[in-house]
A and B are shown apart, each in its own frame.
Chain A
């Protein structure tokens, strides 16, 4: 099993099946959706690493809308568009809206696998960065607890020391009273 989950969105049953078979053969975990509406409800429930969607689809939710829905719901998801040669301009538009890449039809599978590999490498790096961050956060919060406890404790002791000094310098008190009060302050430290 490769480390990417992929949602394939295409209204053409032939392309859909072809993509599913080829991707599954490469051991990617594939889910398919036959149009934008199905894709939308799947995206509402699951996170996919990659959404591979046709640009032109009937039924109101086209590739651009799938892209927007995916980005809204899962900012980290990478979206790759599949376009006819004639609509490369809209594919470029889609890149501006946050698509990772586009592929022209007919799909060149070597090219597709290469792009997926790149995405996968990137996600691996990202994952180790996140692990590192996690580890840092754990260390940091432990350190912070220790430091903050010490900070409060030192401030408390300092305050008592100041009171102690005051008692010792208080000449309105008799000597044994001073000593007694000083000792009681000391015991709090």
Chain B
């Protein structure tokens, strides 16, 4: 493993921040080494300075993407924390459906949902499954489910919708597994009826969200923890701009918006919390 020198730490940390907004603690040099060493070696670099220069010069941005894949923590699972999905089932979706159902029966109910750090897709597929279980006949609805993430690898796995047995083991009960997945070699693939409900695209949360339009429900879980307080403030401020006035925001179960975004008020339902605009 290539050792990182003290003067390289600052350059690399700044570079990673510039491309992803991820703030890495410079006192934890092993974080940089364990995640970047193999990329550096693969490219024949003998130092991280060298890797940095190669990445900056690479117009195809391939190296930059690899670095993002290596640096980002894609840890996720189906129905993570359970609470938010019960919240969707019993509170958020029924209320949103009520609010968005047009008076004319000829019109469809439009609901837009965004998983803002979708990682490998488990969160958005869990939402899609909850929707499918709640409203069996989707023909009267127009659900738009968007998953975004900065990591190419994560987005391509999410799009493919294939999970190995370890990923499946975590969070999915057998009934849901049998109903919505098909065995595919040693892995399981999400069925087309669920796959067809969602879309994934690469998106950096440090960018403006204007291009994405407004959402009725936003899940932004376990990503802001990697950002500085200042970036977190700006992120949730822009999320507030992208959320419908009566929309719902769900954040990670150990995250807090206190001192981050005064535009949101926390509300409790059952054992979970969600946020709405003031």
Chain A residues with a Cβ under 8 A of chain B: 68, 71-72, 75-76, 96-98, 126, 133, 140-141, 143-144, 147-148, 150-152, 154-155
Interface presence of B133 (CB below 8 A): no
Can you give 29 contacting A-B residue pairs, CB < 8 Å? A68-B183, A71-B186, A72-B178, A75-B165, A75-B168, A75-B169, A75-B177, A76-B165, A76-B169, A97-B185, A97-B186, A98-B183, A98-B185, A126-B166, A140-B81, A140-B253, A140-B254, A141-B253, A144-B81, A144-B253, A144-B254, A147-B254, A147-B255, A148-B266, A148-B272, A148-B273, A150-B256, A151-B273, A152-B266
Size category of the binding interface on chain B: 20 to 34
CB proximity of B53 to chain A, nearest CB, Å: 37
Q: A144-B253, A150-B258, A152-B268 are in contact. List 11 more A-B contacts (CB 8 A).
A: A75-B177, A96-B185, A98-B185, A140-B81, A140-B254, A141-B253, A143-B254, A144-B81, A148-B268, A151-B258, A151-B273
A133→B170 CA distance, assembly (Å): 10
CB proximity of A47 to chain B, nearest CB, Å: 12
CB proximity of A95 to chain B, nearest CB, Å: 9
A76→B81 CA distance, assembly (Å): 22
A interface: dominant SS: helix
9 closest A-B pairs by CB: A98-B186, A144-B253, A75-B165, A151-B266, A148-B273, A144-B254, A143-B254, A155-B266, A154-B258
Closest to A144 in B: B253
Closest to A139 in B: B254
Interface presence of B265 (CB below 8 A): yes
A126→B167 CA distance, assembly (Å): 12
Contact A155 B185, CB 8 Å, known A75-B165, A143-B254 = no
- Which among A68, A75, A96, A152 is the interface contact of B188 at CB below 8 angstroms? A75
In the complex, what residues of B have CB within 8 A of residue A152's CB? 266, 268, 273
In the complex, what residues of A have CB within 8 A of residue B273's CB? 148, 151-152
Complex contact A148–B253 (CB within 8 A)? yes
Closest to A159 in B: B265
In the complex, what residues of A have CB within 8 A of residue B186's CB? 71, 97-98
